[in-house]
Every structure is written in structure tokens, then in C-alpha cells.
Structure 1
Amino acid sequence: MKPFLVASLYLGLSLPVLAQSERQIARPISPKRPVVDTYFGKVVTDNYRWMEDMNSQQTKDWFKAQGDYSNSVLAQIPGRDSLVNTFVRYDALKSVNYSDIRRKGNRYFYRKTLPKENVSKLYYRDGKMGAEMLLFDPTTYDKAKKYAVSGYQPSEDGQKLTIGLAEGGAEISIMRIMDVATKTFYPESITAVFGYDNYGWSPDGKGFIYKQLSSDNPQLPAAHLDNKSFYHRIGTEPGTDTELFSRNRYPTLGIKSAELPLVFYSDDFSMLFGILATADNRLNGFMAPANELLQPTIGWQRFVTLTDSVYNLATVGNQLFLQSHKGASKGRVLVTDARHPSVQNATVLLPEGKWTITGISAGKNFLFVQLNDGINDHVRQYDVRSAQWADVSLPLTGTVRFSPYSPISNDGLLLISSWKQPPTVYDYDPATKQFSTSPFNVPVTYPGVTDLIVEELEVPSHDGVMVPLSLIYRKGLKKDGSQITYMTGYGAYGSSAKPFFNPRYLALLNKGVVVAITHPRGGREKGESWHTAGYKTTKPNTWKDFIACGEYLINKKYTSPKHLIGEGTSAGGILIGRAITERPDLFAAAICNVADCNTLRSEYGTDGPVNAAEYGTVKDSVECMALYEMDALSHVKEGVNYPAVIGVGGINDPRVMAWQPGKFAAALQNATASGKPVLMQVNYDNGHFTEDKAVTFRNFANMYAFALWQAGHPDFQPSDARSVRAKATSTEKK
């Protein structure tokens, strides 16, 4: 197939005979309709509040016009389709992709995607080397809709399966129940379930626990309030399901409306845990004997509070292991009696050390602890029978994902990847400490990988704190300021940017672009104190760390302001939005991907109340002023020379509503004096993300091509660049 045809199929584009310059339309206007709010004496004018009503025809028309305009500009960037072709070609180098591998008994369940498939299908094998059996193909479920599997969970005996189905990149799911032997569905369906909100089967396989939203429209803020956890018995009407854990059912437990009530079994099925989840990663919850599951009242007893600073738990027999960061920024492991737990009186099993504990998990006789040294992951194992610790000698360095197969066995699946090492999958036996290459490992060789250089640096920030910075580039880099550099960052929720292999980064690297991954405060690269140094009132450190990394790259002549691209996704929208409003001179282009750019209004969005634990609330005078400071929209000023910006919003996004990047793009379009384009790319077949490769490839090709065009990459310059730039900054008059 010819390359341009491949691109057109993946982009969903027709290729008219018209000249490129004839296809572009004028930029639509973004009307200002001021709404004035006073927050504890601070007067804030919001010119684009009207956009928050996503159901109004005016808003729909604005997004449609902005999307059409953006598409007309992007269509004239010559390298855009070539990027899609590269993504397709790199994807095809891996003959098959396995993911989400789970074992129940001797039966292995997994997702599998072939290069020509856009979404994964579900399969199983009896035995690791057994014959492969197709269980479910979401593309055949409803020919009129585009479904993908949002989550799945096999029963303990491997005879049944719950499957979450989501449409158009949305995360809300319809849950169906499949009989594995016949590959047929039971008649009932459960709606308003998030794909990952499937917390497990009862040990008898007769039913399962799940959490349900308060509405089947996840874009309503009320849908994320007063959620409930239920037990569903197969063959019964979902409307009769037993309510297990909620503010409504247990008003005396002090459950708040924004807390998500999650229920799951202990590893040995002897206990039930009821956890109240928010954006705060610390556990807050209760436990009860598992035999009370279907009793009229469950005797929930609190066992952990936020002040205990417990982030993870695991059980082996009668021992409850806790990952705690209280008084220990890098974490320690505690152990207590699972039948009568006491965090306060728990024994320190593994004290805080020089590496940060990032997770714990358990098998039948072993506890596994994952640690990070700031760059690479490490694993230690604890044999509960001998009470002995041992270091796991990993076959490769990089980021490790270790998953015990089952609480009734000791072996597990281990994946290792790094910035320039594609993922390798191993089976691991802790009894012998031996690794073997997994049958689910698929070797792949990508072009240009052997020519890559990785530098791990630390950069002084505005206050002298040293911030980690990871650089990837091709051999022979000239530090003369001429290199286009793509700099990305996140810095929120205590999420660390760990080394991983990204074929999309490789597409940039093989075009001579330097890729810079920042590790600003707000993540957990240096422990929990690194997280708390970049949230709520300390959030400015996040974007100031990002700015410091950009300044370092310029000062050391890796790049220059006319070649530097900044990118932030989701909560990273705070980082990129405030970086370009505080230092617009630093960047040639910026990407605001499904970006939170209006934090003063986030609390009034879909899952805003849940995220107040990370950002703060407008109801508190101190936190409200912190929200104003991190609000990119409120810091857009008229007449400033802003960089070129592309905002991206998913119409089906239940996390960051499209009006967040939309309002920011509108403000920049009206305010900028630089003459550089500001686009608002609108994805009608996407949410916060999507599994659909065709949609994903198109989305990233659009973002990268726009930024590379503006940063001066020769492969992305339209033949009549001045005409395109002029049209991209003009405004259509009423």
C-alpha cells in the first residue's frame, strides 16, 4: 500500500485535489462574555464561562468550528501524514502485542492486538503453552458502535468473566458477564461502571463486587458524587444488587460525598476492605470479615486513616503488610496482625532506606517490595516462612512492573523497560530466584535505537533544589542551540516519570529531535516529600522546575527558545499552562493535551471534588489562592507574545472536560500579540485517551506536526509558510 493511502486510512481523511492553501479556513471568533467572581477578596474575570455548558448549541458550534479550523491548518503541514506512517510502521514491527495478562488456576487470560487491529481482543489458554482461544472481539459486539474493552476480570475458577465495554474513548462502561466455556453472555448488563472499577469475584464464583457511578453520564459532576459499591449475583436483576459500602448505606462512617467507596477481598478471601478513594493516594478505610458480605449489615471497622500515611497493603496468611510513608518520605514496610490490625502498633519490617519504596504485592509465601533509586527500579522479596529478605537480581535495568500471578502461588510476571529498551517480559520464581523469558514476550527491533544516548542529569531550580532531567538524543548531537527539543512534564499526584520505551518518542528521535523528560516536584521521584513540595500551596514549584529545565537546556545549548517545544497532559496542563504564561519567551510551541488549564473551575467539573485532595478547594481561603496561582486561564494577558499553542480536548473525556483546554485556547487566541497560531484540536472519537490505535496515531501526529512546524523542523514546513501562518492567525469577522 502506498504511504499516502496508509496515512489517509489512519487519519480518516479524504484527499481532495484542491491545492493545500485553498483548503484552509479562517479562524473562528471566540466571544468574550465576562463573568466576575470574587474569591476571598480576589476579583477574577472569566470571559469564557459560557463554554462550560457543553450541551448548549453555542458551545457545540464553537468546538465544531475550532475543530474544523484546526484540521484545515494541520492538513497543510507536510510531515503530519509521514508521522502517522511512521507510527504504523513501528507498530507493525511487533508481530503481536500481549497485555493485561492474568492467571486463574492454570488458565491464562490476556489481551492481544495484531498490527492491523486498532483495539485488543480477549483470549485465554489452558496452560501457559496451551492452544490460544479467542474469547471476545469488541468490534463485533455492536456493528453500529465502536467499542473497546475497558477492563475485565476472570472468576477465581476461570469459568466466568466480567467485561467492561466503553465507546468512543469514554471510560464509562457497560459491564457484561461471559460464560467462558460457551463464550456467551448472561442476560444482565450493569451500566455506569468505570472500566477499572471491577474489584473482583467472590471465591465461589457466584457473583462479584463492583462500584457504580451515580449517573450513566460521566460528564455530569453529580455522577462522581455519592458512588456506591455493590455485590451482584449472577442471574439476578442489577437493580436488586446488595449495597455494600456507601454514604447512603452507612451514614455513621463519615463517608464524604466525593469519596469513592471501593470494596475488595483480602488476598486469602478472609477479609473485606472498604477504602474511601480520592486523589489523595493515602489509604483511608475499613475492614470486616468476608463472611459478612451478604449480611443485612456489614460490621465495618476502621483500620487506617489518612494520617497513617499508608499507600498500599498486601496480605499473606494472618499478616497484613503496609507501605507507609509516615515520618519516612521514602517509605517503609510495616506488618501487623491481619485479624486485628493496628497501624500504630505495627512492627517495622523494612525501615526507610536510600531508595524510595514504590509498591508492595504478595504471593502465597512471599512479599515483594518495589523500590526506585531515582532512575531504575529494584525488587526485594521477603519469605514469610523464614522471615528472610533477599534482593532480586534483575536481568535488565530500567522500570520494573512485577505482578504475582496469584495469592495461592509464588510465581509472577515481570516486565522491564527503559528509555531505549523495549519491554521484555519474564516469568519469575521467587523460590529459586530464577527468571525465564515468558511465552508472552515478543522481541522487537526498532530502527535507530542503537544510536541513542541517554543522559540522566540534575538541574538547579529557582530555589536551588536539584531537579532530575532525563535526556534522550541521537549520537553526534551538536550543542549549538540548533536542535529542536521536545520537553515534557507532569508533576502531580505523586506520579513519577519512570523510564519506559515509547515508539512515538522514537519517531521524534529519528528525526533528530532531542526528547527531554522532566521530573518536577509533584511527582514522587525523590519520595513523598517530592510530591508534597509540588501540590496545593507548593504547586508553583512544579512549573518553575519545568521552566528551570528549559533554561538549562538553552544555557547548555542543547536547544534555543525558537526550537523548544513544551508539552503537558492532563494534570500536566497546570505545568505547561503556567510555564507559557509565566515565561512565554522560553518556548517556540506548546502542547496542552487534555489539559487542566482552569483549576479555579476544576472543582465544578466532573471529578473535580475528588481531585480537591491534590489541588485544593475554592472553599478554603489559602487553597483557593493557590488554585488561582496555578490557573493558567487567569494568567493570560492581552498583548503578550505567546508561543504557538495547540490545545487538545476529547469530547468524551470524563476527567478533564474539553472546556478546560478550550477556554485556555480561546483566551490565547484573543490575547496573543506574537502572530503565532493557537489551535484547539477537537477529538470527537476520543476521551481522556483511547485504546484505538488509529485515533491515537492521528492525535499524536497532529500535536507533534504542529509543534515541529512551529519549532522550525524542515520536514514540517508548508511550501507557502507565510500564507499558512497568516491564515492561522486571522480572525473571521461577523
Structure 2
Amino acid sequence: MNYSSNPPLDAPSAEKRPHVLSIHGDRRVDDYYWLSDRDDPQVIAYLEAENAYTTAMMQHTEALQTALYDEMLARIQETDLSVPYRKGDFYYYSRTEAGKAYPIYCRKQGSLDASEEVLLDQNELAADHEFFTLGALAVSPNHQILAYSTDTTGSERYTLCFLDLTTRQLYPETIPETYYGVVWGNDNQTVFYTQLDAANRPFKLFRHSLGSAISDDVLVYHEPDDSYFLGIGKTRSEAYILLELGSKVTSEVHFLDANQPTGDFQVIQPRSPGIEYTVEHHSSVFYITTNEDALNFKLMKTTVTSPAKQHWEPVIPHREDVLLEGVSAFTNHLVIYEREAGLPTVRIRQIATGEEHEIAFPDATYSVGEDANPEFNTAILRYSYTSLVTPRSVFDYHLDTREQELKKETPVLGGYERQNYASDRLMATATDGTKVPISIVYKKGIERKGTNPLLLTGYGSYGYSYDPGFSSSRLSLLDRGAVVAIAHIRGGSEIGRRWYEDGKFLKKTNTFTDFIACAEHLIEQGWTSADHLAISGGSAGGLLMGAVINLHPDLFHAVVADVPFVDVVTTILDDSLPLSILEREEWGDPNDKLYYDYMKAYSPYDNVQAKAYPNLLITGGLNDSRVSYWEPAKWTAKLRALKTDTNTLLLKTNMGAGHGGASGRYESLKEGAFEYAFLLDQWNLAEG
């Protein structure tokens, strides 16, 4: 359906305060820059007016939204239990209860028949907050103290707390402005945590002694380079604490004996531009996955006592057709995660003999990943598996016998029968002849007559591989006759590291033309038509949405752009914004005219023109620390001013959340139901 594109009459004008930026001789006038001042009451009024407009324009779908929400909720087993995992003498798990939005974290000692101990009920912590999420959740090595951190705004700035699990009393100290990582020393007294700078970059590592004042905390490491993030972790063996420093293209790892937490960290190999590596510990050896002279990475090893690069020895060589994504070490085995021909693989190697085998998976296109495996001394690998037709399933794989046990398949209530659905892997041809994979799912019986509503999604940035997974909510589209597809475009790593390199910097437009090629292929093959094709993407996937509708707006009927990164040049030029400096190793540095001109040529906000655009639903989060709320707001304002059509244009800003949207499973379902209602309405399936 088409509606008036005019916003509410009382929405503040977006033409009052132009901002002029001159760089490389280019004078950029930004009429909507004023929207970046969140302290201006007019800005908040503008966002609230847009929200009111969106509510009014979607009012006719309220019954559909309710129906979709009820459908989605009815497929979920609200009272449920995760698969317990063992660590020491305890079995840890989480569970949910009907009517409660958040998980409850629990454990049992000795056996699964023991009485339950509730570690933390997130519902109680969230009771007085519109938004709530946990960052860290780490039990001390002796299992007696819980370190956890909370965020009540969506800004990803967490407050760290400590709970005595014996007395159920909180320690007096709380530590604000922390990031996700928290690691215990083996003395059960020392805790390492990271703090954020003004741009939300974890840049300092502190050591805290439990029960002491935070003013006494010791600054262990300060990373002054704004392009590096600082992270903290611990090896599965629990022998070493790892300080990990990384930009988008370079890394450096330091290690510390976890039994001597007040000691000094030792660097494994100093950073070298463009060289990445990660570290896994086994006995007296560090296994090192690195891209040095190995685009698709290779595996090396060295002794803990001689960790520098000159002592590294090859274990798995570089291969042109296989991407080595990482390894996990257990007592007698290495688990090797790779990607070949666009699909993830898992290979098991006996450390003593070198004997290898691969785990087989049943679907044509799927996702697989390591699940909770905290124990080093084990011959069982726990992994999770899902596909477009297979709900998330947790397996225990016996590394020696090759037997596997299905521990749990996520229930889908309401009679889901996977044999009624099909998934395929297609190949589109890009403008330069490159073959681009597409994963597709649909209900059996769908005919390719060119009239099917189809939702095509994509991402294509940061080397992230967009592997397909199951969604019970997606059934609300499939059961109404829609087809859903994923475009595995360049900029991800689905086909290896080269796939990523060919979709970044001065090759970024490959990401956009690949997506367009996938859309055109689906139309040519009769899966849909331009009048029935909807697309969606979030964050950098939102940039993708903005770029492709600037390039080829008549190819798409409707667009959902979640927290879209659309004002590329302005954001990355601003050193004060979160992530901006770090992002220059992904997109390029616009202070360099070569990159400036290239980025400006595809930046969605900079390339809005006076032409017809598809129907659009754009979302943002006021507290978003990754993509500032003003990016979707400015983009919407400029589209309103310039577009020549009468199609729907909606902006929905969550005024109490950040990048991930609403917290709590019920509010998240409502957001999903809203977006599906928008799509079904645009497909004229609101009554279907």
C-alpha cells in the first residue's frame, strides 16, 4: 500500500541549521546536521514526532501486529532450559519461565539430580528498568563468587558487581564504565576488567582485588592508539590470562600466568601492520593462527617459554581454497574450524598421531559453531548446528569414537514439520563474472511464476560470514507464501579472506553490485519480481540497503533498514565518535582524498537524489553507541525532502535502547512483529 509521505505537520523543520564542511576542496552542505545534537529539545521533539507519525501510519496494521506477535510467541516454549554444561563439580545452565522476559542463571552441584541453586535472576535486576542487559557473567575458579555487569541504557557501558554465592551478599564495590570482558585470576581474589574511553573504546586494563576500593585498582595496560580495542580472556586450560589488542587488520597478544595474577604480562609477538594472530594454549605449547604470508590464515605452534615469531613452527599450511577460522585445543585433540566452498567445516585432529576426520552435516546450507566447552580435559566437543529448516540443535560429539548425541533441539511449538519446507543454495553472477552464493528457504509447493513475495537480506562487511540459521518467527512469512533469501556477498568471508578483501576499501562497491546481482538473479529465475521484492539489513547491512536503493531503486518494492550506518563520510571523519578511527581500516580514511571521493560516491546519505524510492521502514536507537541515532534520522529527513514518490517512509527510534534494539524477549518479539507487519502490508498480505 502507498501512503502520503508527509511527516506530521508539527515536526520541526529540518532546514534551519545547515552545516558546512570543507575538505579536499569539496564544500559539503549538510542541512540536517543539527539532528546530531541530542541535548537540543527540538531534536527529541523531532524524533518523537516521527515516532508518532510511524504509529499513525501503521495503526491499520495493529491487529496484524498482534496476530504476528501471538504467532511468534506461540511457537516458543516459554518455560525452557538450556543444555547444562559441566565445569568442575558444577553443572551450569540458564532457564526461562513463562511471562518472564529474561533468563535465570542456575547451577547444580555434583549431578543434574541435585537441588538447583539460582545464581542470578535477570528478571529481578531488570524489574525497574525499561532496558536491561548483562555484559559479563563469570564465576570465580572456586565457584564461590559471581562477577556480573549490567547496562540499563543500551549504551554498552556496563557497571561491574560481585556477588558472594555463599552468603548471597553483594561486595561493597561497583565498577562503572566497563566493557564486556572480565577475567578471574586463579587466586579467586584478583579480577581483570577493561574500561572505556569517551568514544566507547576499551582502552585500559585494570586489576582489582576483591573487597578493596576501586581507587586502589592497578592500571595494568593502557592502549593509546585509537585504532585498537583492548580485550581480556583466559585460556581453556585456565593456565594463562590473555590480553588481546586488535585493530581491524593488526593484532597483538600478551599472556600472564593465571596463578600469578599480580605478575607482568609478556608479549607473544609485537604488532606488525597488517598481521593478525590469535592464541590457543595446550600444555607447553601455544597454537597460533595467523595471516602472515597467509591470506586465508595458517596454524603455527611455539613453546610457551619461546613465544616470539622466530620460534614458530608450521602445523597447518596456508591454502588458497580453504579459510582457517580458528582452532580449539583439548587434552588429546585439536578442533579445527575452516570454511571451504562457502560452507563451514569442523575437522578433528588427534594431537599425538595427527590422524584427522571431519564432522558431516546434513543440509545444503547451514551454520555450525562451538557451544559451551569450558573443560580442557575432555574427549567431548559440544557444538551447535542450525540451518534454514533445522532449529538450533546442541550436540555432544565424542572425539575418539565419532559418536554424537543430540542433547537438545530448540522446540518449535504449534506443529512445525520441517519436511514441509525446503532450502536451497543458488548462484548469482556478479557484474565482473564472480559467482555469488544465495541461501533460500520457502514452503514446499511454491511455484516460480515471478509473483512470490520475497525478502532478501544481506550484510557484506567486516569479514562477517552471514551463515543461515533457523528462525521460528520467520515461519510467519513462509506460511503466508513468502520466500526468504540471504545474499552471501563480498565483504563477508563466506568464500575465504579474498572474499572479504574484495568487498572493502576501494572495492566496497562490489558488496552493493553483488547484492543487486542476487536480486536480479532471483527475479530472472522466477522466484519473485521487482514489485514483490523486499530487502532488509541492519547496521553495515543498513548501509547496504541505502547504497542499493540509490543505485537501483526500481528493483525493490520495500526496504527495512535497521540502525543503518548511512552517513559514512561524516561519521568516519569525526574522531570523537565511537569506532570512527577504528573504522578507517575497514572503509578507508576520508582524510585521504582518494578514499574521501570513493566513500562519498557510495555513502547513502550523501547520494540521496530527487527520484522515486521504495517503501521504507528505518529504525534507530537513541542510545546507540555504534551507529548514532542521527544517521537514520538525517537519512529519513533528506529522503523526505528529495524523494519524488508517494511511497511509505517511516522512522522508528527506540528512545530507550541502543544498537540491539529492545531488551527482553517479549519486547524483541514485538519489534519483529512490527517489521513483519510492515512487510506483509507492503506485499498486500496483511489479511493473509
- Same fold, judged at TM 0.5 (above): yes
Report 1:238-249 matches (<5 A): 238-247=214-223
Report 1:376-415 matches (<5 A): 376-384=343-351, 386-394=352-360, 396-397=362-363, 398-403=366-371, 404-415=373-384
User: For the structure 1 residues 387 and 204, does the alpha-carbon distance in structure 2 shift closer, same or farther, using more than 3 Å as the test?
Assistant: farther
Report 1:21-60 matches (<5 A): 28=11, 30-32=13-15, 33-60=17-44
**8 Å CA contact 2:76, 2:412 repeated in 1:** no
Please, which of 245, 259, 262 is the counterpart of residue 228 of structure 2?
259
**8 Å CA contact 1:363, 1:407 repeated in 2:** yes
**8 Å CA contact 1:159, 1:180 repeated in 2:** yes
Equivalent position SS for 2:591: coil
What is the rounded CA distance, in whole Å, between the counterparts of 2:9 and 2:19 in structure 1? 28
Counterpart for residue 638 of structure 2: 667
2:301 is aligned with 1:347? no
2:268 is aligned with 1:324? no
What is the rounded CA distance, in whole Å, between the counterparts of 1:576 and 1:710 in structure 2? 17
Please, which of 500, 508, 517 is the counterpart of residue 477 of structure 2?
508
Counterpart for residue 423 of structure 1: 392
What is the rounded CA distance, in whole Å, between the counterparts of 2:620 and 2:567 in structure 1? 13
How far did residue 237 of structure 1 move? 1.2
Please, which of 406, 427, 431 is the counterpart of residue 462 of structure 1?
431
What is the rounded CA distance, in whole Å, between the counterparts of 2:361 and 2:487 in structure 1? 27
Equivalent position SS for 1:79: helix
Q: Which whole-Å deviations, capped at 9, do the CAs of 1:555-576 have from their partners, x for residues lacking one? A: 2221111111111101112211
2:355 is aligned with 1:360? no
**8 Å CA contact 2:160, 2:176 repeated in 1:** yes
**8 Å CA contact 1:310, 1:322 repeated in 2:** no
Q: Which whole-Å deviations, capped at 9, do the CAs of 1:627-667 have from their partners, x for residues lacking one? A: 323310000012x0011111101122221111111111111
What is the rounded CA distance, in whole Å, between the counterparts of 1:460 and 1:395 in structure 2? 27
How far did residue 626 of structure 1 move? 3.2
Please, which of 651, 657, 661 is the counterpart of residue 686 of structure 1?
657
What is the rounded CA distance, in whole Å, between the counterparts of 1:89 and 1:51 in structure 2? 40
Report 1:93-492 matches (<5 A): 95-98=79-82, 103-127=86-110, 129-130=112-113, 131-141=115-125, 143-146=127-130, 147-194=132-179, 196-198=180-182, 200-214=183-197, 222-225=198-201, 227-247=203-223, 255-280=224-249, 282-287=250-255, 293-295=261-263, 298=264, 300-301=266-267, 303-307=269-273, 309-343=275-309, 345-353=311-319, 354-374=321-341, 376-384=343-351, 386-394=352-360, 396-397=362-363, 398-403=366-371, 404-438=373-407, 442-444=410-412, 447=416, 449-492=418-461
Counterpart for residue 70 of structure 2: 85
The two structures have a TM-score, normalised by structure 2, of 0.91
Q: Which whole-Å deviations, capped at 9, do the CAs of 1:423-463 have from their partners, x for residues lacking one? A: 1112233244332333x655445525321111101111121
**8 Å CA contact 1:95, 1:442 repeated in 2:** no
Q: Which amino acid aligns with 1:493?
A: Y
2:681 is aligned with 1:712? no
Q: Which amino acid aligns with 2:57?
A: V
**8 Å CA contact 2:391, 2:410 repeated in 1:** no
User: For the structure 1 residues 561 and 458, does the alpha-carbon distance in structure 2 shift closer, same or farther, using more than 3 Å as the test?
Assistant: same
Q: Which amino acid aligns with 1:232?
A: H
Q: Which amino acid aligns with 1:240?
A: D
How far did residue 484 of structure 1 move? 0.7
| Identical counterparts, % of pairs | 24
What is the rounded CA distance, in whole Å, between the counterparts of 2:270 and 2:287 in structure 1? 12
**8 Å CA contact 2:343, 2:494 repeated in 1:** no
Counterpart for residue 536 of structure 2: 567
Counterpart for residue 591 of structure 1: 560
What is the rounded CA distance, in whole Å, between the counterparts of 1:600 and 1:619 in structure 2? 10
Q: Which whole-Å deviations, capped at 9, do the CAs of 1:358-410 have from their partners, x for residues lacking one? A: 221222332211123345432222333x1423224347553222243223444
Equivalent position SS for 2:626: coil
What is the rounded CA distance, in whole Å, between the counterparts of 2:52 and 2:277 in structure 1? 45
User: For the structure 1 residues 709 and 576, does the alpha-carbon distance in structure 2 shift closer, same or farther, using more than 3 Å as the test?
Assistant: same
**8 Å CA contact 1:364, 1:406 repeated in 2:** no
Equivalent position SS for 1:37: strand
What is the rounded CA distance, in whole Å, between the counterparts of 2:566 and 2:29 in structure 1? 15
Q: Which amino acid aligns with 2:117?
A: M
What is the rounded CA distance, in whole Å, between the counterparts of 1:333 and 1:499 in structure 2? 27
Counterpart for residue 677 of structure 1: 648
What is the rounded CA distance, in whole Å, between the counterparts of 2:305 and 2:235 in structure 1? 11
What is the rounded CA distance, in whole Å, between the counterparts of 2:126 and 2:447 in structure 1? 53
Q: Which moved more, 1:700-709 or 1:47-56?
A: 700-709
Q: Which amino acid aligns with 2:643?
A: T
What is the rounded CA distance, in whole Å, between the counterparts of 1:602 and 1:213 in structure 2? 19
Please, which of 616, 623, 635 is the counterpart of residue 652 of structure 1?
623
**8 Å CA contact 2:426, 2:439 repeated in 1:** yes
Counterpart for residue 598 of structure 2: 626
Q: Which amino acid aligns with 1:701?
A: A
**8 Å CA contact 1:312, 1:360 repeated in 2:** no
Q: Which moved more, 1:707-716 or 1:510-519?
A: 707-716
How far did residue 65 of structure 1 move? 0.7
Equivalent position SS for 1:613: helix
**8 Å CA contact 2:96, 2:103 repeated in 1:** yes
User: For the structure 1 residues 566 and 494, does the alpha-carbon distance in structure 2 shift closer, same or farther, using more than 3 Å as the test?
Assistant: same
Q: Which moved more, 1:151-160 or 1:138-147?
A: 138-147
Please, which of 69, 72, 85 is the counterpart of residue 56 of structure 2?
72
Q: Which moved more, 1:693-702 or 1:514-523?
A: 693-702
What is the rounded CA distance, in whole Å, between the counterparts of 1:48 and 1:646 in structure 2? 19
What is the rounded CA distance, in whole Å, between the counterparts of 2:597 and 2:586 in structure 1? 14
Equivalent position SS for 1:303: coil
What is the rounded CA distance, in whole Å, between the counterparts of 2:392 and 2:348 in structure 1? 22
**8 Å CA contact 2:18, 2:33 repeated in 1:** yes
The two structures have a TM-score, normalised by structure 1, of 0.86
How far did residue 27 of structure 1 move? 7.9
Q: Which amino acid aligns with 1:325?
A: N
RMSD: 2.6
What is the rounded CA distance, in whole Å, between the counterparts of 2:516 and 2:361 in structure 1? 36
Counterpart for residue 10 of structure 1: none
2:522 is aligned with 1:553? yes
